[in-house]
Amino acid sequence: MHEPLVPIGMFARLCRLSVKQLRHYDELGLLKPARVDPRTGYRYYRRDQAREALSIGLLRSLDVPLVSIGKVLAGNDVADALGEVRDRLEAELSRRRRTLATLDRMLIEGLPTVDVHVAEEPARQVVVVRDAGAPERVSEVTSACLGRLLDALAAAHATPCGPLIALFPLDLEQSLAVTAAAEVDAPVPGTEPTMLAGGRFAAATHVGPYDHIPFTAHALLAWCADRGLVPTGQVREVYLNDPHAAAPEELVTRLMIRLDEES
């Protein structure tokens, strides 16, 4: 004696999914009907398949992608299958939080504009510490880099002759390379000595929290573009005061970008 089979419409009602969803899950092999009539193509489900169907619905309501749901249903370790999803979600969440803050700022101030001037910069001998990370973790990676640099300087009893600097690539790629630099004239263990190129730079001053730097950077790039100046190399941030001593609203950062010769 078989369990009674129900057609797709009734099954959909049982498990609060759409008929279209069920057909989709069938196609993907996620939830196969117990029987498919070979002549008509009609799908029939056992009622107890509704438990699985409801689980799919529950996980979908949590935005778990169907591939991950497939892993959970296939009996893979739930922690494995969902942990990854969870971490992605958390990263997304913090990105969204920052996005919201920026958007709020933009609603008040409009699209960013800023004073820019062009200056000659000398080449500088520095020691650097490098790291890389996903673009949404820039601030995290940057402060970690600067921290490691400060630690190395302290351990070597070295005092930089100027403010700390960070370098970022112009293009925002999947993995963003971050460099923290300090101007010193002797090598420092745990860091790498290098030269920062000199030349003609466009520079703007950002006053406010570090989270809002992309704002000013955008304005700086727009300024260059308007004038047909082609930025090259990396964006430099020069930290003119100490984030531990000053309030976020009073942080002063100089943004600099090297200009190509006439293009």
Partner DNA sequence: TTGCTCCTCACGTCACGTGAGGTGGC
Position 74 contacts a copy of itself (CB under 8 A) = no
- Measure the CA–CA gap between 121 and 156, rounded to whole angstroms: 28
**Nearest residue to 136 (alpha-carbon basis) of 84, 98, 89:** 98
- Measure the CA–CA gap between 8 and 40, rounded to whole angstroms: 13
Summary count for the chain: helices (H), strands (E):
7, 11
Q: Using the rule CB under 7 A, which residue among 3, 16, 20, 225 binds DNA?
A: 20
Interaction mask 52-71, DNA, x per CB under 7 A: --------x----xxx----
Q: Using the rule CB under 8 A, which residue among 28, 36, 62, 155 binds a copy of itself?
A: 62
- How many residues sit close enough to a copy of itself to count as binding (CB under 8 A)? 54
Residues 131-190 that bind a copy of itself (CB under 8 A): 170-172
Position 21 contacts DNA (CB under 7 A) = yes
**Cα–Cα distance list, 136 to 106, 196, 212 (Å):** 19, 26, 13
Q: Which does 225 bind (CB under 5 to 8 A by kind): DNA, a copy of itself, none?
A: a copy of itself
Residues 80-109 that bind DNA (CB under 7 A): none
Residues 222-261 that bind a copy of itself (CB under 8 A): 222, 225-228, 230
Q: What's phi and psi for 244, nearest 5 deg?
A: -85, -20
Supply the minimum distance, in Å, between the C-beta of residue 193 and a copy of itself: 30
**Residue 11 token pair:** 């099954």
Supply the minimum distance, in Å, between the C-beta of residue 69 and DNA: 8
Confirm if 188 and 128 have CB atoms less than 8 A apart: no
Tallying the residues shown for the chain, one arrives at 263
Residues 25-54 that bind a copy of itself (CB under 8 A): 47-48, 50-51, 53-54
C-alpha of 260 from chain center: 29
Supply the minimum distance, in Å, between the C-beta of residue 29 and DNA: 12
Q: Using the rule CB under 8 A, which residue among 20, 28, 36, 63 binds a copy of itself?
A: 63
Q: Using the rule CB under 8 A, which residue among 1, 27, 29, 107 binds a copy of itself?
A: 107
Give the list of residues 6+ apart from residue 262 with CB closer than 8 angstroms, or none: none
Strand order in the sheet with 176-183: 116-121, 199-207, 252-259, 231-239, 165-169, 176-183, 124-133, 192-196
**Nearest residue to 232 (alpha-carbon basis) of 221, 246, 243, 244:** 221
Residues that bind DNA (CB under 7 A): 7-10, 12, 18-21, 23-24, 37, 39-43, 60, 65-67
Residues forming contacts to a copy of itself in the complex (CB under 8 A) are 4, 13-16, 47-48, 50-51, 53-55, 57-58, 61-64, 72, 78-79, 82-83, 85-86, 89-90, 92-93, 96-97, 99-100, 102-104, 106-107, 110-112, 170-172, 214-215, 218, 221-222, 225-228, 230
